[in-house]
Amino acid sequence: MFAAVIAAGAALLIAVGVGAWAAGHYSAETVTVGSGAAATVPSSAQVDPNVAAGAHTFVQFACAQCHGDQGKGGVSPDVPALDVAGKTLTAAQLRHIIDHGLGVSSNPTKPYMPVWGAVISTRQVNYLIAYLHAGLPPVPDATPPVVPTGQGTVVAGGALYVKYGCINCHGPNGLGGVPNPLSPDKTIPPLSGADFFGEFNTDAKIADVIRSGSVIGKAPIVSMPHWGGIIPAQDIQALVDYIKTFKSS
């Protein structure tokens, strides 16, 4: 009986302590973030590390550029929001979709869910599943790079190359080297070097392949996504201008 009273008292002290910490914490955030956002922006301390890693992986692989921030949709009528899939699909179903793609189509105007299996790791897919199953909550700093404005298309294109996840498949500086074992070339092509610039020798040719992508085969072959309908024309031009800065020999 005596022990129980002490335990209850201790619990009460802890509760008061946490309450006081939270009150101070949120009032501090109200000053910097604004009262409206304070209630919805969680502090990093509250985020499960697997869910947080999933939110950052979602940004890294540009899932957000097709499915919207936090998978809320609104980017293209051909790309679904992910809240329903997160609630209804099992881990095995989600893993299959992410590794093998979905609706892969040869229609260049229609985006499809890319095949990621050769590019993304099992552990990264685990994080994505944790994030989807948690309902795609807001996670601090899980945001794509800011695209600088007023500094020219090459600078913008460099940020877009990361924002749209081109870098995951074509490597930093377009150097390539990412394996695609079952494709004829066994690798995702570089966007640099004499061969590339020999074939893609005009802006229009580079822009066309970004827009229309390729279907070189179904999963497990990784193919170039269809970005037409997703990436606005001026961003495609900025990507072209950035790609043209890569090594040409």
Footprint of ligand HEC on this chain (CB under 6 A)?
61-63, 65-67, 78-80, 82, 84-85, 94, 97-98, 102-103, 111-114, 116, 119, 128, 164-166, 168-170, 180, 188-189, 191, 196, 200, 206, 209-210, 214, 216, 222-225, 227, 230, 239
Partners of 102 in beta bridges: 113
**91-100 and 122-133 helices, crossing angle to 10°:** 130
Nearer to ligand HEC, 103 or 135 (CB): 103
Q: How far apart are CB 239 and ligand HEC at their closest, in Å?
A: 5
d(CA 81, CA 212): 22
Cβ burial of 162 (10 Å; 0-12, 13-18, 19+) is middle
Q: How far apart are CB 180 and ligand HEC at their closest, in Å?
A: 6
Q: How far apart are CB 40 and ligand HEC at their closest, in Å?
A: 23
Nearer to ligand HEC, 43 or 214 (CB): 214
Nearer to ligand HEC, 47 or 221 (CB): 221
**Cβ atoms 144, 156 nearer than 8 A:** no
Q: Looking at this protein, which amino acid is placed at residue 175?
A: L
Q: Residues, the chain, total?
A: 249
**Cβ atoms 207, 197 nearer than 8 A:** no
Nearer to ligand HEC, 47 or 224 (CB): 224
